[in-house]
Amino acid sequence: MSNLFEEVRLNLPHIELAAHLFGPEDGLPVIALHGWLDNSMSFARLAPKLTGVRIVALDLAGHGHSGHRPAGGGYALWDYAYDILQVAEQFGWQRFSLLGHSMGAIVSVLLAGALPERVERLALIDGLVPFTGEAETAPEKLGEALRAKLALGSKRKPVYETVERAVEARMKGVGAVSREAAELLAQRGLMPVPGGYTWRTDPRLTLPSPLRLTQAHALAFLRRLSCPVSLALAEQGMLAHQAAVVKMLGEFSFDVTPLAGGHHLHLDDEKGADAVADCFNRFFTVA
């Protein structure tokens, strides 16, 4: 596996983000967005296999080596969309493509639907729209989120005696991953603390969402997409088991490619990364 990349720090007006740069400087501009609680190492296998593209693989705010939101702030999906726009501004990219996995794919769809004039192409890995909720459940969801936020101050992040223990925990987490994938994420995601190691991620990332988009909202974003969309759908992943999302896909002419593997198929092993790369190399080179 090639790990040829450049490490950069991006001083945005409101936060500092870390990123890995892959590919030639004159390649097609692509901003890569990882999933929830992951980091830019999510693209360590895939990015070197993509040709003709200049990839900025971000550590999203609160993840990896990027800054955390200020006290009192949060991690709404639309806040990430604003971060991405600021990253594009730093690179002088008026138009760019997005490569997103899971939560990163969801943020990509929201941004491309909100500002279709800015996004050239969407390459999505096992992610499309956020979990939705209807109006009648909104008061309960807000109450749940407020109670969790009040309780967060009394909670302590887990500390693992060894890196190996942390890797084993990540293998069993949400969106279970292979050992090699967990080790790659741990390289960037762990930090030493008294007693061992803990994850760098902001604890606020684990708080429940105070408000969910309705299904009508989600469909409105999808219907406003004006760029080509390629979705690598993991056959043993998360989307394939969400009946509402599968039904949504039937309404759109997206390029959907079912691929063997789990939710992190692009990171779990070389075979999965090769399959996703084959899919997206074709997609990025279509005129």
pLDDT class of 3 with cuts at 50, 70, 90: low
pLDDT tens-place string over residues 19-51: 999 999 999 999 999 999 999 999 999 999 999
Nearest to 18 by CA among 97, 100, 83: 83
Mean pLDDT of the chain: 95
Whole-number Cα distances in Å, 156 to 20, 117, 151, 169, 199: 30, 43, 11, 16, 12
Q: What is the pLDDT of residue 287?
A: 57
158 neighbors 172 (Cβ within 8 angstroms): no
What tokens does 162 get? 């060894």
Sign of torsion over alpha carbons 216, 218, 221, 227: negative
Question: For residue 231, what are the β-bridge partners?
Answer: 124, 256
Q: Determine the average pLDDT of the residues in 196-207.
A: 96
pLDDT at 199: 97
Q: Which domains does the chain show, CATH number per domain?
A: 6-133+214-285 (3.40.50.1820)
| Cβ(102)–Cβ(22) below 8 Å | no
Band of pLDDT at residue 13, cut at 50, 70 and 90: very high
Residue 138 half-sphere exposure, CB side, CA atoms within 13 Å?
7
Cβ contact 105:126 at 8 Å: yes
Helices (DSSP H) in 95-137: which residue ranges?
103-114
Q: What percent of the chain has a predicted confidence (pLDDT) above 70?
A: 99
Check pLDDT > 70 for residue 259. yes
Work out the average pLDDT over 203-218: 95
pLDDT at 282 exceeding the cut of 90: yes
> How does residue 250 score in pLDDT terms, banded at 50, 70 and 90?
confident
Please enumerate in sequence order all residues whose Cβ is within 8 A of that of 120, keeping only pairs 6 or more positions apart, or say none: 28, 29, 95, 96, 97, 227
Q: Is the pLDDT of residue 120 over 60?
A: yes
106 in Cβ contact with 127 (< 8 Å): yes
- pLDDT value at 286 more than 90: no
pLDDT at residue 247 is higher than 70: yes
DSSP state of 145: H
pLDDT at position 4: 77
Predicted local confidence at residue 248, as pLDDT: 87
Structure tokens at 22: 């892959």
Q: Which candidate in 102, 108, 226, 230 is catalytic?
A: 102
At 244 the pLDDT is: 85
The residue among 15, 27, 81, 88 whose CA lies nearest residue 55 is 27
> Is the pLDDT at 123 greater than 80, yes or no?
yes
At residue 132, the pLDDT reads 93
d(CA 127, CA 109): 9
- Paired with 111 in beta bridges are none
What pLDDT, on a 0 to 100 scale, did the predictor assign at position 89?
96
Q: What is the model's pLDDT at position 1?
A: 52
Active site residue 102: yes
Asked whether the predicted pLDDT for residue 16 surpasses 70, the reply is yes
Is 170's pLDDT higher than 90? yes
Residues 6+ apart with CB under 8 A from 24: 52, 54
| pLDDT over 80 at 130, yes or no | yes
pTM of the model: 0.96
